[in-house]
């Protein structure tokens, strides 16, 4: 298998995907629109490698070699010879459309175009390209170096070959894949966590139980590593509000209608760990 990967977006997800891929021997082009974003991304990768080295989980030479396989650039043309392109930008369909239209003109005919979206139907993203059969969902989980799962999503026109190549890539960087055969908004994982977070937020909003007790119930009653409200704070209440709203718009299923409390929290800037306040104080 050829080993040239392009990652579009050097945020937390994009830099994480670049990190695990370079460590697994892929040559990686990491592209973002500003030098500042690229510096932030590559500094994060460097720090993560150093942490693995200090814990004895990665040899210093291997970390250095992996860093050497990552090229950071603001030039989108650098994707031209990539075998696989993974888009990891903000969850807004218009932005993804703009990127996929451009990628469609730049990449090789046999390249696989993957999106790391967690909630937007792949068919909608693929529709702006001339090669919808070569577009697939490859939803990695944060933090990418630690989380084992990759959710592969078949769009309405995704070919078996494209799905197989995406699976081969994800497994080559150490991930276990699940396949989503029907392109429903939110796929499997985002639908499950959204339904749980929405219900947990409603229970909290109506005073049924405290945030702590709702989370303890899920941890001790269901064996979850982290409760839904703590998960919302970690992921970002704004991100989950966006995801649940997307799924609700697509499905019109009431269980995904985000409660008013989540909207007000986002309006007030209480979006979780990154702002210091969400369902918990951080």
**Residue 125 near residue 114, CB atoms below 8 Å:** no
Question: Are residues 165 and 116 both part of a single domain?
Answer: yes
What mean pLDDT do residues 241-257 have?
A: 93
Q: List the structure tokens of 150.
A: 């990759």
- CATH number at 132 reads 3.40.50.720
- CATH number at 261 reads 1.10.1040.10
- Check residue 68 and give its pLDDT: 96
Kindly report the three-state secondary structure assignment for every residue of the chain: CCCEEEEECCCHHHHHHHHHHHHCCCEEEEECCCHHHHHHHHHHHHHHHHHHHHCCCCCHHHHHHHHHCEEEECCHHHHCCCCEEEECCCCCHHHHHHHHHHHHHHCCCCCEEEECCCCCCHHHHHCCCCCHHHEEEEEECCCCCCCCEEEEEECCCCCHHHHHHHHHHHHHCCCEEEEECCCCCCCCHHHHHHHHHHHHHHHHHCCCCCHHHHHHHHHHHHCCCCCHHHHHHHHCHHHHHHHHHHHHHHHCCHHHCCCHHHHHHHHHCCCEHHHCECCCEC
| Residue-number span of the structural domain to which 249 is assigned | 190-274
Q: Which is nearest to 180 in space by CA: 140, 153, 207?
A: 153
Residue 1 predicted with pLDDT over 70: no
Whether 194 has a binding-site annotation, put simply, is no
Question: Are residues 141 and 248 both part of a single domain?
Answer: no
144-203 residue pLDDT tens:
999 999 999 999 999 999 999 999 999 999 999 999 999 998 899 999 999 999 999 999
224-233 residue pLDDT tens:
999 999 999 9
Say whether pTM exceeds 0.75: yes
- Check residue 91 and give its pLDDT: 85
70-100 residue pLDDT tens:
999 999 999 999 999 999 998 889 999 999 9
The position carrying tokens 């609700």 is: 248
Tally of structural domains, the chain? 2
Within a domain: 185: no
Whether 124 has a binding-site annotation, put simply, is no
Question: Are residues 127 and 96 both part of a single domain?
Answer: yes
Domain C-terminal end among 115, 147, 180: 180
Percent of the chain at pLDDT > 70 equals 99
Question: Are residues 85 and 62 both part of a single domain?
Answer: yes
Question: Are residues 175 and 194 both part of a single domain?
Answer: no
29-64 residue pLDDT tens:
999 999 999 999 999 999 999 999 999 999 999 999
Question: Are residues 175 and 195 both part of a single domain?
Answer: no
Whether 48 has a binding-site annotation, put simply, is yes
Within a domain: 281: no
């Amino acid at each position: 298998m050829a080993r040239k990967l392009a990652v579009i977006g050097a945020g937390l997800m994009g830099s994480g995907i670049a990190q695990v891929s370079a460590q697994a021997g892929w040559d990686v082009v990491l592209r973002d629109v500003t030098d500042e974003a690229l510096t932030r991304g590559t500094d994060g990768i460097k720090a993560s490698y150093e942490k693995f080295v200090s814990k004895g989980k990665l040899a210093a030479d291997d970390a250095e070699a992996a860093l050497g396989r990552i090229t950071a650039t603001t030039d989108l043309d650098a994707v031209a010879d990539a075998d696989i392109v993974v888009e990891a930008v903000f969850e807004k369909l218009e932005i993804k459309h703009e990127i996929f239209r451009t990628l469609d003109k730049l990449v090789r005919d046999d390249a696989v175009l993957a999106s790391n979206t967690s909630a937007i139907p792949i068919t909608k993203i693929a529709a702006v390209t001339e090669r919808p059969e070569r577009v697939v969902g490859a939803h990695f989980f944060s933090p990418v170096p630690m989380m084992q799962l990759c959710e592969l999503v078949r769009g309405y026109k995704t070919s078996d070959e494209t799905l197989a190549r995406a699976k081969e890539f994800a497994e080559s960087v150490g991930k276990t894949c699940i396949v989503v055969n029907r392109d429903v908004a939110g796929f499997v994982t985002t639908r499950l966590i959204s339904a749980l977070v929405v219900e947990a937020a409603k229970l909290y909003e109506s005073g049924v139980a405290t945030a702590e007790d709702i989370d303890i119930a899920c941890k001790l009653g269901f064996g979850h590593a982290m409760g839904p409200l703590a998960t919302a704070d970690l992921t970002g209440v704004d991100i989950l509000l966006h995801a649940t709203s997307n799924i609700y718009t697509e499905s019109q299923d009431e269980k995904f209608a985000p409660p008013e409390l989540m909207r007000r929290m986002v309006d007030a800037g209480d979006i979780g760990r990154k702002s210091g306040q969400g369902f918990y104080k951080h």
